[in-house]
């Protein structure tokens, strides 16, 4: 009984932690703020790729 209560507590803690972290990311738009930082590096990378450009 004690063990299952403890397990339930841990599970609740994990779920709450997951919710707090993901909801913070969601509401403050942190996911988009992060990907906006990544984009310029990707664009530089694409410029370096050799391509067979022609009509």
Partner 1 sequence: MAKEVGADRLGDFYIDGGKVRKRREWRGVSDTLYDYSRWLKIMMTLGKFIAKPRNIKAMFRYRWMANYLAVPMMVDRHTQGLRGEYLRICHEEQDLIIDDVAQLLENLFRGDRRIGNDTEFSKKVVLVDENEMTAVMMGFPTLKCLSRETPSTYVSVLLNQHAAEHYIDVAQEFGLAGDVCPMPEAEAGVSIDDDAPVLGACAIQCNTTCDGSLLGNGVISRRLEKEDGISVFQLAAPLRHQEDDVQDYAAQEIRNAIAFIEQHTGVKWDWNAYFECAKRVNYATRCRQEWLEMNRTDYPQVFGSNLALYTETNYMAICGRIPAFEKADRNITRLARQAFEKKKMAAKEYRHRAIIWGVQSHYYMDFLVWLLNCWGIVPLTDMLSMVSTRELKETDTPENRETAYYDMAWLTENMIMRNRTHGGYKVLLDELWEYVEQFNADMVILWEHMSCKALDGMHGLFEERARERGIPLVWVTHDLFDPRIVSRQGVRDQINSYMRTVMREEPLDPSLEVLNDEESW
Asked whether 37 and 43 are in contact (CB, 8 A), the reply is no
Q: Which is nearer to partner 1, 1 or 49 (CB)?
A: 49
* 16 token code pair: 């709450």
Shortest distance (Å) from residue 5 CB to partner 1: 27
- The residue ranges that bind partner 1 (CB under 8 A) are 22-23, 26-29, 31-33, 35-36, 38-39, 42-43, 45-46, 49, 51-55
Q: Which is nearer to partner 1, 7 or 24 (CB)?
A: 24
The CB density around residue 30, as the number of other CB atoms within 10 Å, is: 13
Asked whether 31 and 25 are in contact (CB, 8 A), the reply is yes
């Amino acid at each position: 009984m004690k063990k299952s209560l403890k397990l339930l507590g841990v599970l609740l803690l994990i779920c709450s932690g997951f919710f707090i972290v993901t909801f913070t990311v969601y509401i403050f738009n942190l996911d988009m703020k992060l990907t906006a930082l990544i984009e310029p590096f990707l664009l530089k990378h694409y410029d370096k790729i050799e391509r067979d450009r022609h009509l």
